[in-house]
Amino acid sequence: MAELRARTARVGVIGLGYVGLPLAVEFADAGFAVTSVDVDPQKVESISRGVSYIPDVPQERLQRVTGAGRLRATSDFSALADVDTISICVPTPLRKTKDPDLSYVVAAVERVAEHLRPGQLVVLESTTYPGTTEEVVRPMLERGGLRAGQDFFLAFSPERVDPANKQWHTGNTPKVVGGIDAVSTAVACALYDQIVQTTVPVSSTSVAEMVKLLENTFRAVNIGLVNELALMCRSMGIDVWEVIDAASTKPFGFMAFYPGPGLGGHCIPIDPFYLSWKARQSGFESRFIELAGHVNASMPRHVVELIGEALNSHGKPIRGSRIHLCGMAYKGDVGDYRESPALDIARLLQLRGGLVTYSDPHVPIVNEHGVALEETPLDVALEQGVDCAVIVTNHRGVDYDAVVRKAPLVVDTRNVLKGRTEPHIVRL
């Protein structure tokens, strides 16, 4: 651990996406020599040129650490033999059956096992179900004869990245760490102590894995509750946004969550399914969690119904109407459209014959979930004429005043137009 505290240890990071790249840059900025590994040659090339493709990693910061030789990128996994620590930050999506897909984790661990040597620390950061580190990762790493806790150290430390969050980032967000034993926990904490303000050691890898699922399931369930409340308020003729604002004045016992067109991204829509899947393996039915998932999954269809009702009020059907989506990313000010509700909204509208276009300054093209579209800039779409504009993502810097001025109908799913009373605005 002395090398970790002296920052002379060599750090390895597998996976250079929204989690891995900020982590690698944080280590390099702290003075570590960092080797980052990714199977995507474009990412490797970008980092080698000092070009950031992650908004949360400023270009000048990346260039500072690559220029100083503290961060290098490669697709050659044999480089892992020369590092002292390995953090695995690869995707953990769902299969079509809503079961966990650990193929990326398994592939990464297989490559780590090929080059594992005594004294190394391996940390899994990818979100997964409780038991993964002990039941999947550990046996794979021990096949070569080395033993976790004796010959090498093994831990789980969940990522807590919130893209586009200006207040909380890798460096100041507390880091939960759970090892397969007390020594592994201590070594992993010693590593992360060098780059984060606070580490939070827990008793096991399973506890650390469960922490991440609790955090995101908490959000998913509460969003499901407020989405259902939005549907209820609409049937009663009550403004749900006013209700939430008023409830938020209570200084205790209430935390504001807001309705929306559905969940998106690589965590919130997926993690509760990891938890419910693991619960089923133990004979436990997580009805509450799964119900919230059903409510959230129904929101894109509800938005399409709102669009249909709004168009009908103007004597138009969805079929043949020009419907422009403002935003394709799953959240504001990011370019990530994985699991974005905008994809489902676009697909459902197209199935009903709608002529769908979209604008998003962060997403130039989409080709996923049966939706293949290129971005139409907002000013171009408004000049060409639309029958309905739908605010799906609340990006900053978008001219929403122009949307209200030039679109005959506006469906606002994010309450971006809060306080506006024009009759052609329809809120979720």
* CATH assignment at residue 85: 3.40.50.720
* Residue 388 among the catalytic residues: no
pLDDT in the model for residue 258: 96
Record the tokens describing residue 337, joined without a space.
């459209």
Total domains present in the chain: 2
Record the tokens describing residue 226, joined without a space.
């407020």
Pair (41, 156) in one structural domain: yes
Pair (45, 180) in one structural domain: yes
One of 189, 267, 326, 388 is an active-site residue; which one? Answer: 267
- Phi and psi for 199 in degrees, rounded to 5? -105, 145
Instruction: Assess if residue 218 is contained within a domain.
Output: no
Instruction: Assess if residue 418 is contained within a domain.
Output: yes
Pair (183, 246) in one structural domain: no
- Phi and psi for 153 in degrees, rounded to 5? -110, 145
Pair (236, 140) in one structural domain: no
Q: With contact defined as beta carbons under 8 Å apart, do 224 and 296 qualify?
A: yes
Closest by CA to 327, choosing from 220, 235, 416, 230, is 416
Record the tokens describing residue 404, joined without a space.
């209200």
pLDDT in the model for residue 282: 84
Pair (187, 282) in one structural domain: no
Closest by CA to 179, choosing from 137, 149, 213, is 149
Pair (294, 413) in one structural domain: yes
Pair (354, 283) in one structural domain: yes
- Average pLDDT for consecutive 10-residue bins of the chain (428 residues)? 91 95 96 96 95 91 95 96 97 83 96 97 96 97 96 96 86 96 97 97 97 94 96 95 97 96 83 85 87 93 97 96 97 91 97 98 92 96 97 96 97 96 95
What residue numbers bound the domain in which 151 lies?
2-203
Instruction: Assess if residue 217 is contained within a domain.
Output: no
Pair (367, 403) in one structural domain: yes
Pair (168, 235) in one structural domain: no
One-letter amino acid of 215: E
Instruction: Assess if residue 213 is contained within a domain.
Output: no
Pair (288, 401) in one structural domain: yes
pLDDT in the model for residue 88: 98
Pair (261, 127) in one structural domain: no
Instruction: Assess if residue 73 is contained within a domain.
Output: yes
Instruction: Assess if residue 306 is contained within a domain.
Output: yes
Q: Is 214 left (phi over 0), alpha (psi -120 to 50) or beta?
A: alpha
Instruction: Assess if residue 216 is contained within a domain.
Output: no
Instruction: Assess if residue 10 is contained within a domain.
Output: yes
Pair (240, 381) in one structural domain: yes
